[in-house]
Homo-oligomer: A and B are copies of this chain.
Amino acid sequence: MMTAAFSFQVSATDGAARRGRLVTAHGAIDTPAFMPVGTAATVKAMLPETVASTGAQIILANTYHLMLRPGAERVAKFGGVRKFMNWPGPLLTDSGGYQVMSLAKLRKMTEDGVTFQSHIDGSRHHLTPERSIQIQHQLDATITMAFDECTPFPAEKNAVAESMRMSMRWAKRSKDAYIARPGYGLFGIVQGGIHENLRAESAGALCDIGFDGYAIGGLAVGEGQDLMFATLDHTMAHMPAASPRYLMGVGKPLDIVGAVQRGCDMFDCVLPTRSGRTAQAFTRLGTLNLRNARHADDPRPLDETVDCPASRNYSRAYYHHLFRCDEVLGLMLLSWHNVAFYQQVMKELRDAIAAQSLDAYARTFAADQAGGEAADDGA
């Protein structure tokens, strides 16, 4: 590595799983770590202090959303996303590539980059590896992501290969455009769909360029958990053991547990906060739909295994009432609980790795999730 990036130390392993610590300019991150998503410089319906209180040590923000509103230059003027939103800890920004593909209109992609119209006001924008890295610098991201194309699934293998190779050329351009700072880092993103040789080629290309961490992109896009785990099984072998490995956009609690067992260190997903806004609670015993009438008279708290006021201090009946009345407090509390539940699981995973008991933990966790109440709510 030529950059003065952050340090990453693995303190324990259990099978392929690792427990570690990433020390950045803005604080330490114990891994495996889950990053709540703060799309538009806010983890939706949560105060930054509340996010931190769950144990979250790093959050994610979206380049695509912030470049459109309030604009990268404006955020830069306020000292970056962290200062703008009053989040003192580390922050990771995605590159914008994924959101351009999933949200923007009238996209046109060339070797140079992608031109698109904003989904908000139709304004035209051009995003290239160089511009994405520049924006992420303006956003003052602790961890910057290389600009890539998230390959659609399913796709012909040739198309997957072409897309991956363009992403690797973009990765080189991202690296060249990146301005290294102590305690900051740049991650490359392995693509290649579900194909082992393409994933291996991609990982090799990124290692040749040299990054501070390596992400796995293009999963959790509809391939299903079996294929995702199979892809992780063969991809992990090609990813440097000394660097953090970030599985992007994953996922449900059991997805994360399985990915940790396969050696992934970092995760992000909108599920805990998005579900918090749609009355879906993640609990030890599976998911609950709190709008369901069966909760109307239930005095039990959401989940006493989670050390969080939102999990313990309010009855399911009260949650049901809040969601039935469309009260903002319902989604505030449930987003809080869901993020706290995710963080609790991450802590338990780290502890299980340190205790060399990860497989037993994973079996118990899966049994709890499946044997609980999920089926009742059709969740």
Contact = CB atoms under 8 A, between A and B. Distances in A.
Interface of A: 40-42, 44-47, 49, 69-70, 74, 77-78, 84-86, 277, 296-297, 299, 309, 313-315, 317-318, 320-322, 324-325, 327-329, 331-333
Nearest to A336: B47
Contact of A46 (B41, B314, B329): B329
Contacts of A327: 40, 42, 44
Contacts of A299: 78
Contacts of A328: 44-45, 277, 328, 331-332
10 contacts: A44-B327, A69-B321, A69-B324, A70-B296, A70-B321, A74-B296, A78-B317, A78-B318, A84-B321, A332-B332
Copies in the complex: 2
A313 B86 contact: yes
Given A74-B297, A297-B77, A314-B86, A49 B325 contact: no
Contacts of A332: 45, 47, 328, 332
A321 B66 CA distance: 10
A325 B331 CA distance: 17
A238 to B, nearest CB: 39
A49 B309 contact: yes
Contacts of A314: 86
Contacts of A309: 49
